[in-house]
Amino acid sequence: MIDFVQMTVSGIAVGSAYALMALGMVLIYKASEVPNFVQGEMALLPVFIAYMLIYSYGQSVFTAFVGALAFAMFLGCFLEFAVVRRAKNPNILGLIIITIGLEMVLLGFVSWKFGADQRVMPFPISSYSSVMFGNVYISTLDLLTLVAALVIMVSLFLFFRFSRLGVAMKATQQNETAARLMGIRTNRVKMITWGISATVGTVAGLLLAPVFMEPYMMWDPMLKGFAAAVIGGMTSLPGAVFGAYIVGIVEHLFGGYVSMEYKAVVAFAVIVIVLCVKPSGLFARHYVKKV
């Protein structure tokens, strides 16, 4: 019984990081209707910038992290403005290839600038300290990630509900032509959406960096985040978070009780099953497609 609880707790811990990536992907899918393959690298570059700020420019960890988040906002906006918007008559596959191309360019830059060796990111909370509930352990960093995921989800919810910009974003996602007619500058809204998504991803990256930091660190979280977003329905924010926790918990329970070799397999099998039962994801709401 203790093991079951421990595994669930670990699954929730790892699910939080996936949830942050999934949130980013869903945001961009709702805005630009493209599954964003550069999500991981949009987070990777600011994380390495934070590293550079700490080590080459002697900034404190706090300043460096804030700087990284600001850079992420700028990077997301820049990518949308300079590249994604320039696609003429974009069909979804073309946009996917553009994001893949961007991913390779950003990854190439980070690897070129920083080299391939694994790095160490200083962080006020040690990644080895843990909190104990009875016999069940959860590391402090995991707890922080969990809190961060929930805080971000709640703030995004409030943002979309109550702020003008958030409502404008929802309007753009539902019907772009109508939103334009109402005076919303949809191009700017999309740009900001990308910026927010990059920032959310960077939070995930900064929380993953103390454990493992090298140029390829974001591939696995991005993949799992994408899977989680698909399970939850690519258009639903709470769905994405829910999907992420499902993926994390199922993976851990299966790995602990049944078989370690196939634990990644079963997580993706769950996705296939969910999609067979509910093709647009668990929480998707259908918007009427503009003709």
Partner 1 sequence: MKNTFLAVVMGALLVLGFVPTGHAEVGVTDTEIHIGQWSPQTGPAAPWGAVARGTDAYFKWINANGGIHGRKLIHHYFDDAYNPAKTIAGVKQLQEQTGMFAWVSGVGTACGLAVKDYLMEREIPWVGPSAGSRHWVTPPQKHLFNVYPLYLGDAQLLTEYAVTEMDKKRIAVVYQEDDYGKQGLEGAQHVLEQHGMELAAKVPVSISDTDMRPHTMKLRQAEADAVLVFVTPGHVARLLGTGKAMNFEPQWMSTTTCGDFPLMIAITKGLYEGVITASFGMAQPTGNVGGIEHINNPNHELMAKYKTEVYDAFAAADERWGYTFTTGIGLAEPLVEAIRRAGRDLTREKLVAELEKMENFQGLMGRITYGPYDPDDPLCRIGQQEIFLQQCTADGGSKILTDWQTTEFIPMSQ
Partner 2 sequence: MQKSHTHLVLYKTMAFALSAFYAGVAGGLYAFVLRFIEPELFNLFLSVFFLTMTVVGGLGSVMGPIAGAIVLSFLDLQLRNILSIPYIGDWLRDLSASYFSLTGVSNIQFIVFGSILIAIMLFEPLGLYGLWIRMKKYWKPWPF
Residues making contact with partner 1 (CB under 8 A): 3, 6-7, 10, 13-14, 111, 115-120, 126-130, 137, 139, 211-212, 214-217, 220-221, 251-252, 255-256, 260-261, 263-264
Of residues 260 and 276, the one with the C-beta less far from partner 1: 260
Of residues 127 and 280, the one with the C-beta less far from partner 1: 127
Q: Which does 80 bind (CB under 5 to 8 A by kind): partner 1, partner 2, none?
A: none
Q: Are 219 and 89 in contact (CB under 8 A)?
A: no
Q: Are 150 and 19 in contact (CB under 8 A)?
A: no
Least Å distance between CB 146 and partner 1?
Answer: 14
List contacts with partner 2 (CB under 8 A): 37, 83, 86-91, 93-98, 100-109, 111-116, 223
Of residues 218 and 240, the one with the C-beta less far from partner 1: 218
Q: Which does 98 bind (CB under 5 to 8 A by kind): partner 2, partner 1, none?
A: partner 2
Q: Which does 96 bind (CB under 5 to 8 A by kind): partner 1, partner 2, none?
A: partner 2
Least Å distance between CB 182 and partner 1?
Answer: 44
Cα(63)–Cα(52) distance, rounded to whole angstroms? 12
Q: What tokens were used for 124?
A: 């006020």
3-state helix, strand, coil in the chain (%, to 5): 70, 5, 25
Least Å distance between CB 25 and partner 1?
Answer: 18
Where would I find the beta strands (DSSP E) of 57-135? 130-133
Query: CA 178 → CA 54, 68, 141, 183, 185, distances in Å?
Result: 46, 35, 44, 9, 11
Q: Which does 87 bind (CB under 5 to 8 A by kind): partner 1, partner 2, none?
A: partner 2
Q: Are 63 and 53 in contact (CB under 8 A)?
A: yes
Helix (H) or strand (E) segment spanning residue 205: helix 186-208
